[in-house]
Structure 1
Amino acid sequence: MDLTDSLSSLDESGPVIASGKRLALSTKLRSKFFLVAPADADPWFGFTLDFPLGQDQAANEDSGFGIRHEGKASGDAVVPVDNHRLTIRFPRGGFQTIVEDATLPLMNRFPNAKRRDHGMTVLKVVIGDASVSIQGFGYPFANVDDLEVEGWVNNKPIVDGHTLIDILRSKRFVFVLPKPVAAAAHTFNPDRLPAPFSYPYGPNQEWNLPLYRALIAQNKGHRFIPAFRHPDDLSHITSVVQAAVQDVLWIDDAVNEILAIRFPAYFVSPETSASEPRAVEGIKQFYIVVALTPQFRTEYDSAWRRLIKAEGFRVRLFNSHESLSPHETWNCKIVEYPSNLSALKPHPVRKHELVLCARRPTRDEFQKKQPYEVKMFPDRNGFYDWMVKPDPRSTNAPPMLRALPSINFLDIEDKAYANAIVAEALPQDQARFRGYLSNRPLGLAAATLAMHAKLGKILCSAPTNVAVDNFASRLDTRTRTVVERYNRGLQGGQPRRRHTFVVRAYRPEHESVAFKRLLQDSRISDGAAPKPFARRPSKWRLHLSCAFWLLVLLRSPAVRGLHPDDSPVLHEMQQAIHDHDSTVLLRDVATGAITWEQFKEADGYTRAMTVANDLLAYIPDQADLLVARGVSIDEAANMHRADLYCVWGNTLLPCFLFGDPKQLSPTVMTNSEQHKAVLHRDDEGDVDMESEQNPVGFLNRFAMDGKISALQYLQGNGIPVYR
């Protein structure tokens, strides 16, 4: 990378727009000139303009604007910055440069410039029909300490009536560089730029496993430097998609290879003994001893260590070596300490062998899932192209900046409720909390209750089930606190505020099983969660689940009663259930008026359970995800960007991200593992393990990109953060 301080102007004799420190001029805007060929990024030729954010951003933070950060080049951290940087890149092949010695009158304008006696250079850039590309334009900006700089950013004239837009749209730029002309002509020669960079994975990043495999095999190599900004959508999507794919695809390849290998095995029943034989047909569970080989363990060691962490497996059983397809497929799980099993005492197990516990299936438990649809997302490179595009409603107006859409989350009719939300912050933080919520670009902010009050239904998510559970519980607790604070000061006859209806939704089949078990025994609480054999355990929990709310509506002793200030929707549903004849049996068994056995033997049992399942499905419909008006993410510092995009999509709904930047980064399982070397022999028989035809490279070239969390990526792009 070659760079130097520079003076930016539109003319040699014109006023100074910005300057570098080495030129020793007192200007509020700083400028540097660059010729850059960074690793794993597009090389460029251009300059930067730095706009001050104020000393340590202290005044901005106190006002509620938030703190601006930028991502470090290493990709392992984001750090606060004192300046907002615009990066202006000249179009390759679309400009000419003129390099000249600075004249004496011009040099006299810089009497205190460093190394002035070595000479100075004037570099002129003239652009043809193409336009510059700009990074960092349009991001939220504030400098509470210097309103003049704020005005410049918001299109007020900087020098001689020229606004920032005028400067950026100019076809001619003049720079004064503190370098002798020969050195400057060599250092900043655009011909030195290498070829443009792009990820070698093509334009199609849709879900296509054969294509992924082919591209990965053709493009082995080093790990890419992580990127916080991308030149276009394709670059952004490639890094997100490939980081997810390359983390696991080699495991899938190993699974397919292992599936093609058949091992001999024998079955041991834990239910029989030599003295008490039993017909095989009546046995439902077996231990299966599989004769893996030491060679298999060695060859698939890395993949096998990952695979055996799964909760369960499927074992395919063949009747003969000649069979092309399995006779049956059973669910099973690994027995970790087979030597402790009495049934296996007569069957010594060797170190390389595998013992499985399997159940004979009674039905097909495996259902094919719908294919996943990959969406397109913004490149987060800035908003210059959109903001300077003419507004179709004012075609005759002079060029102006189009403002980014923003929203005041406290602009609701009920000002007392807005005040009750702000009161959730500590007293010393309430002023800046109010300021932060009062002008948020459609993107990120900090308080879901304010979002709900302004917009309506909100979809909440987090990277783990535990995090979602905690998020839902906190929201439910805080909405009750806020409503209680609001209602406490009401006069007689004034309408009361109601609790926000928070639903922690789980898979419908898990809700149904858990609800049924709670009807049988109202004391088991979270113990009602489904417990499938050799399958991933259900993450279902009772609190705020659909089953929880249905039991509340049915007045079950398993849960709390309906509060007078609970959502009107819940009160309406409870009344409807009470008035409907089809729910009589359901209400009786839920309240304990009849036993589960009486309920099950009743004529209306089947109908009642159908009604229950319909109600379980109806409850989340009251928070229909298809009509969510905003998105809120907790523990976003631990969330993959791919997971955020699955929730947020490309709808640009208002999105609040919460998280601790010091939290562990998103989990990336494949970091330093490399492709297996393939032996090649030349004509003389010499072995070449890293030939050009088969280079050894990292299995996950985007591992470091994968560790950039959703919060860190947006924070590193300059979105203000409330802390």
Structure 2
Amino acid sequence: MVSGKDFHPDSDIGSRLVQYADLHTDPYTGFSLLFPLKNHGEEGIGGRIHQLDRNKMTIEQPAQALLADEFEIKIKLPRGHFKFTVQDVDAVPGLRQRVPDAKPKSSAIHVTLEAGHNVLVEGFGKEFSHPGHPCDGWLNHGQPMIDGKTLLEVLDEREFFIVASFPHKEVMKYWGDAPLPPSFRYEQVYGSGTDHAWNISGAQQKWESLPSGEQFRRSITFDDINERIAVQTQFVIQDNLWVARAAAEIFATTFPAYFVPTIVDGTTRCSEYFAIIRRPAEFKAKFEAALDVLCEGEFLRLAFHKHGEDVAVPALEDRKWKNAAVDTWIAKIVAYPTGIAALAQHPTREDDIVLRVQVGKAKKGVPQDVKTFPNVSAANKSFDEDPSTWARVSLFFDPGLGEDERKVNATCQLLPGAEQTHYKRKGDAAAYDIAQLMELHRRLHMGTGFHEFIKGADNARYDPQESLVESLRQLRLDGDKSQGRALPVVDMLSACVGPYLDALLENVPQQDQPRFMRYFMERLLGLALITAAPGFGKTTAVSVVTLALSHSVGRVLASAPSNVAITNFAARLFAIECKAVALCNKDKAEDDGTRVRRKLIVRAHAIKDEVRAFQTLLKSPNQGDDAAPNHKWRPDSKWHAHLSPAWYLLGILRSPAGHQIEVDDNTALALLQSGFDAAPELQKLRDVATGKITWKEFEGDTSNNADNIKVLLEQVIDEADILCVTPSMSDKSPYQFWKETAKGVAVDEAGFISRPDLDCVWGNTLLPCILAGDERQLQPFVRTTSQKDKDGRILNKQAADGDMSPLNFFKVTGVAVYVLRIQYRMADDLFGLCHRYMYSDIDFVYHEACNPNLPHHQIGRTLEAFAQSNLPGLKQYDDGKLRPIFIHCPGSRTMKAKGSGSKFNPAQNRVALKFLLKFVLENKIDPSRIKLITPYRANRDELQRMRRKDAELVHIAGMEPVATVDSFQGREGDVVFAVLATTENSGPGFMTNENRLNVLLSRQKSGLVIVGDINIMGKVFGGGDGKGKGKARAKGKGKGMMDADKCTVKTGGAVSFVKSAFLAKVCQEMVTSGRVAEAPAEWQASEEKKAKDEKKADEEKKAQDGEKAEEKAEEEKAEEKKEEKKEAKEKAEEKKKPEGKKKGKGKKPEEKKPEEKKGEEKKADDKKADK
């Protein structure tokens, strides 16, 4: 084997001699073949091929893809089972004549494999394109490579002769088995073999047995599927294991508590109480990190225990912790109890916790009456006299193990021998070899290619199903031994060729249609990836292909990682389908048998919510989305009427609350309607739906029974052509049964979904799959990144593997990607920051609708004019483009919320709300067109609180609630206000995450206003104290100027290193472009208000450090000493006085009135209680 410019100056095919050893990977000896890609593969495939950027391969950074210019096939020699000899090239007779351009002292290597052992080939069978080059025939069409042999036959040889361009002594020293470090396998690390089934106790023991030290490096590819399963299951478990363990310990930690009624009506009996719980200071210190996580949920339970009985720490596998308690009541944490009137007489200590609880049903002897006290003094006195007068309680948090178990089970489906997840119905598998489909699915998730499968001994081929003759074709049709087994190629478009496909293509830019057709008509293994920056139409693109795929293969399961995302996906599918069908049927009569019918698209929610919403709308048809079964003491339902099973069922029953069946609807709806019309047992249900009878007349009918309604809803669900659910919901009844019948999968926001969640949706039996998203926006959620336990042990050794989405995994392992290149959302130049620093590898254009002069961008032009007149120093441009605005708030203070530690900044919030209010009032802007976002939950809550309290802000009541950046992904607004909530002193916080910052900067259509501290990554603006209206300091790297890639940040007085090139460059460019202005004085707080804020901040800090309690104790001690000195002095003076002049001598003491005595006794009791 000879290749590369070292041996021939015109060669564009290369090779490498490889000795690979890296942390937490299995080392190997081998060589690589490198073939040139033309235009990154896009010319032939229609999609771009990428490779991993190994220069940015760190635990902290997500895996990043680079456009590939060459295609690599790695050949790994079997360790310990090959031999090799090395000679100088000139020592091998006749070799110099064959390689005349070889360097002097080049080496000739002869490798021989032992019997029964083969090379491991990585990359073979993956997508490649270089039309017109010989290697395209070798790699794609099995054409002979040399001496009549194909590449597959060459790789199957037992001997290899390699010419290397360096001396044989170096080859002997650095190449081969001897220099390699020990083998690394995760199955050895965890000692699990192939057993990865859910076992939380076993997982805890495995974690405890792990060697201490650094986290494992991110795994990109896997030599076998067992390694992939080990990595993903361990990530899921370790990410939450420590929190679950803490929740169990917290449950077993009891505290005294007393109750205060929420309604004062002369009696202590009511349905809700405030519970005041006394926690020792050490409790918070021990569980602070876990409580930050557990308190993210809105609800917990208050567990009651008997006095004097021990409470054991419950086992994690025990799902019925509540059985260890006398009773449990649903509860909410009261973060700010000081403003509640009912608690005015019940001031709390720093470590106390206040809950609002709902009284549960009487259980195990718990009395219906809860003893309450009129004030804290009475409560304390009662406790001092008899502690049993207070309840004995503990905090009962959900450890969240149910979702972890679902993800582990989904990943374990990939194990060889697991039951198939699809093609289970009779006849489904007639044309497929299920075992081969499952093997291909596993190899796809390994990311190493398909060499072992292609060279398989049995020569089996995939014969397309009769219904898929046009949609499933073979990459190669001859299937002889020289070419191996063929890989399936799915045509996602041709089955709907004609007017319907033309109608769908109306949603694809004309200049992109040839590339679109090339890519989606020949998808290797049926896997398609769609990526683009924010605002480029990803959801529209994936909807078009999903609808085409549904026509090609049948049922498609559509999913997304969040309820918001899947609701948006379903709505887009429906809108595009309605438009396409209307175009197809434009000139057809209603009774024309050739009319195209819409696919039945169903956005399903929890079946209990569907039943309750159906009943609510049956009774009150005008409630719409308000029919969602929300309850004060339950998390809000995510139910929406549009496209829900309840919405369709109501329409079938002819209720005005549902979808009214139209001529172009799926025929299944009309058939269901006919069936229901003929069912006598549904007569009353039909009558109440149409208003023929009242709800009171219907209410007791058997058809109003929840189980009967569920049966009707399931009939609607079963008819769906495209079912839209979250991964979690797809695993619940009745949707998991529908999922087994799906013939294709489509996922939107696939850069945000985790690999175990995709396993849950996709299963283990190869189906056509479309993944659309952006790996440069939010990544899959990782709770535990670098945290350690009290002994310094890393809590999640696999954290780096958690943030790699399936979209990113397939992209960096070489699956071709269809890239969108037209910006549709943002007005010209509002995408500039993101493009320059996150998407510079994408050549794009603004769509004509992005012209800032168009009517729908008038609000952006109005915003710019308003900012120019209200923000002195903001630079104005005359090119007609719209640019982001940064309002700098010098001297603002970032605080931390009690309990969660989440950050908020009242001063920045005030500036944002003042600006927003003035903008709305002066320009008569509809406030619903403005969105307000912030990175922190505490700042979101603070903004909402300020909106409620300030009467002036009633003018912006039409705005949606404030959202966090993370919850706003996939959403957009005409104008977006983003409040950062951090400062130069607090440090940049969440915004160092480049993916999150990318989301924050890309939600707007016509205007973006950022409110914060421009100096969060270092001084770039203002005077030396950060408070002046000074000038920009970003031209050149002057004194104090930050480095674009790294900087030091002063956080709370301490200096720390922070790296965030994107944030640093954004801050610099905002300053140098003149788009930063200091908030006007009248928008900022008054000096008095600032002083109050500073005092509040100081108190918050002292409370967090325990200083406030210590200072109070010191003050009390000093006061006591002062009193003692005073008494001693008085006694001394008394002794010095003559006997007759001493106090009380010669004078009868004055008798006190009874009410005075009583008052003094009360004061003494209160003082004692306070102490």
Shift of the 442–182 alpha-carbon distance from structure 1 to 2, 3 Å rule, reads: closer
- 1:422-571 matches, within 5 Å, as 422-445=505-528, 447-488=545-586, 493=592, 495-571=594-670
| Distance in 2 between residues matched to 1:237 and 1:396, nearest whole Å | 32
Is the CA contact 1:315–1:332 (under 8 Å) kept in the aligned structure 2? yes
The match for 1:211 among 199, 202, 225 is 202
The match for 1:697 among 790, 793, 799 is 793
- Which position in structure 1 is the counterpart of 2:761? 647
The secondary structure found in structure 1 opposite 2:552 is: helix
Q: Which runs of 5+ in 2 are unaligned?
A: 312-323, 364-395, 415-441, 462-477, 529-541, 721-737, 820-1171
| Distance in 2 between residues matched to 1:619 and 1:55, nearest whole Å | 48
The secondary structure found in structure 2 opposite 1:488 is: coil
Output the amino acid matched with 1:509: K
Q: What do the CA deviations read for 1:505-560 (whole angstroms, capped 9, x no partner)?
A: 11111111111111222222111112234433211111111111111112222244
The match for 2:809 among 713, 716, 720 is 713
The secondary structure found in structure 1 opposite 2:758 is: helix
Cα shift at 1:480: 1.0
Output the amino acid matched with 1:674: K
Shift of the 641–152 alpha-carbon distance from structure 1 to 2, 3 Å rule, reads: closer
The secondary structure found in structure 1 opposite 2:740 is: helix
| Distance in 2 between residues matched to 1:485 and 1:621, nearest whole Å | 28
Q: What do the CA deviations read for 1:419-452 (whole angstroms, capped 9, x no partner)?
A: 3333431111111212222111234125111110
- Which position in structure 2 is the counterpart of 1:53? 37
Is the CA contact 1:586–1:608 (under 8 Å) kept in the aligned structure 2? no
- Which position in structure 2 is the counterpart of 1:636? 750
- 1:99-138 matches, within 5 Å, as 99-103=86-90, 106-107=95-96, 116-117=103-104, 119-129=105-115, 130-138=117-125
Cα shift at 1:251: 0.4
- Which position in structure 2 is the counterpart of 1:412? 495
Cα shift at 1:293: 1.7
| Distance in 2 between residues matched to 1:605 and 1:544, nearest whole Å | 26
Deviates further, 575-584 or 130-139: 575-584
The secondary structure found in structure 2 opposite 1:190 is: coil
Is the CA contact 1:31–1:50 (under 8 Å) kept in the aligned structure 2? yes
- Which position in structure 2 is the counterpart of 1:690? none
- 1:168-179 matches, within 5 Å, as 168-179=155-166
Deviates further, 425-434 or 372-381: 372-381
| Distance in 2 between residues matched to 1:588 and 1:697, nearest whole Å | 66
Q: What do the CA deviations read for 1:60-102 (whole angstroms, capped 9, x no partner)?
A: 3xxx531111233315212220222111000011110101112
Q: What do the CA deviations read for 1:315-353 (whole angstroms, capped 9, x no partner)?
A: 110131316532101111111111111111111111211
Higher percent of residues as helix:
2
Output the amino acid matched with 1:288: A
Is the CA contact 2:337–2:354 (under 8 Å) kept in the aligned structure 1? yes
Output the amino acid matched with 1:391: D
The secondary structure found in structure 1 opposite 2:745 is: strand
Shift of the 329–493 alpha-carbon distance from structure 1 to 2, 3 Å rule, reads: closer
The secondary structure found in structure 1 opposite 2:33 is: strand
- Which position in structure 1 is the counterpart of 2:457? 390
- 1:28-39 matches, within 5 Å, as 28-39=12-23
TM-score, normalised to structure 2's length? 0.55
| Distance in 1 between residues matched to 2:622 and 2:327, nearest whole Å | 39
Say if 2:602 is the partner of 1:621.
Answer: no
| Distance in 2 between residues matched to 1:610 and 1:58, nearest whole Å | 53
The secondary structure found in structure 1 opposite 2:661 is: coil
Output the amino acid matched with 1:50: L
- 1:63-142 matches, within 5 Å, as 64-73=45-54, 74=57, 75-103=62-90, 106-107=95-96, 116-117=103-104, 119-129=105-115, 130-142=117-129
The secondary structure found in structure 1 opposite 2:169 is: helix
Shift of the 607–662 alpha-carbon distance from structure 1 to 2, 3 Å rule, reads: closer
| Distance in 2 between residues matched to 1:40 and 1:407, nearest whole Å | 36
The secondary structure found in structure 2 opposite 1:637 is: coil
Is the CA contact 1:65–1:142 (under 8 Å) kept in the aligned structure 2? no
| Distance in 2 between residues matched to 1:439 and 1:477, nearest whole Å | 27
| Distance in 2 between residues matched to 1:270 and 1:607, nearest whole Å | 35
The secondary structure found in structure 1 opposite 2:84 is: strand
- 1:331-350 matches, within 5 Å, as 331-350=330-349
Deviates further, 317-326 or 490-499: 490-499
- Which protein is bigger by CA-based radius of gyration? 2
Cα shift at 1:604: 2.8
- Which position in structure 2 is the counterpart of 1:40? 24
The secondary structure found in structure 2 opposite 1:103 is: helix
- 1:220-259 matches, within 5 Å, as 220-259=212-251
Is the CA contact 2:276–2:354 (under 8 Å) kept in the aligned structure 1? yes
Say if 2:646 is the partner of 1:660.
Answer: no
The match for 2:267 among 278, 283, 299 is 278
Cα RMSD of the aligned pairs, angstroms, is 2.6
Output the amino acid matched with 1:47: F
- Which position in structure 2 is the counterpart of 1:604? 701
| Distance in 1 between residues matched to 2:498 and 2:226, nearest whole Å | 44
Is the CA contact 1:286–1:359 (under 8 Å) kept in the aligned structure 2? yes
Cα shift at 1:616: 1.6
Shift of the 609–46 alpha-carbon distance from structure 1 to 2, 3 Å rule, reads: closer
- Which position in structure 2 is the counterpart of 1:587? 686
Q: Which runs of 5+ in 1 are unaligned?
A: 1-8, 10-15, 678-695
Is the CA contact 2:565–2:749 (under 8 Å) kept in the aligned structure 1? yes
Q: What do the CA deviations read for 1:485-516 (whole angstroms, capped 9, x no partner)?
A: 22236589451111110111111111111111
The secondary structure found in structure 1 opposite 2:112 is: strand
- Which position in structure 1 is the counterpart of 2:980? none
The secondary structure found in structure 2 opposite 1:712 is: helix
Shift of the 152–539 alpha-carbon distance from structure 1 to 2, 3 Å rule, reads: closer
The secondary structure found in structure 2 opposite 1:700 is: coil
Residue-pair matches, total = 676
- Which position in structure 2 is the counterpart of 1:164? 151
Cα shift at 1:582: 2.5
The secondary structure found in structure 2 opposite 1:582 is: helix
- Which position in structure 2 is the counterpart of 1:13? none
- 1:659-678 matches, within 5 Å, as 659-677=773-791
- Which position in structure 2 is the counterpart of 1:327? 326
Q: What do the CA deviations read for 1:194-225 (whole angstroms, capped 9, x no partner)?
A: 11111211222111101110111111431111
Is the CA contact 1:232–1:381 (under 8 Å) kept in the aligned structure 2? no
Cα shift at 1:609: 5.9
Shift of the 520–607 alpha-carbon distance from structure 1 to 2, 3 Å rule, reads: closer
| Distance in 1 between residues matched to 2:770 and 2:674, nearest whole Å | 35
Tell me: higher relative CO, structure 1 or 2? Use CA pairs within 8 A at least 6 residues apart. Answer: 1
| Distance in 1 between residues matched to 2:286 and 2:553, nearest whole Å | 55
Shift of the 490–430 alpha-carbon distance from structure 1 to 2, 3 Å rule, reads: farther
TM-score, normalised to structure 1's length? 0.88
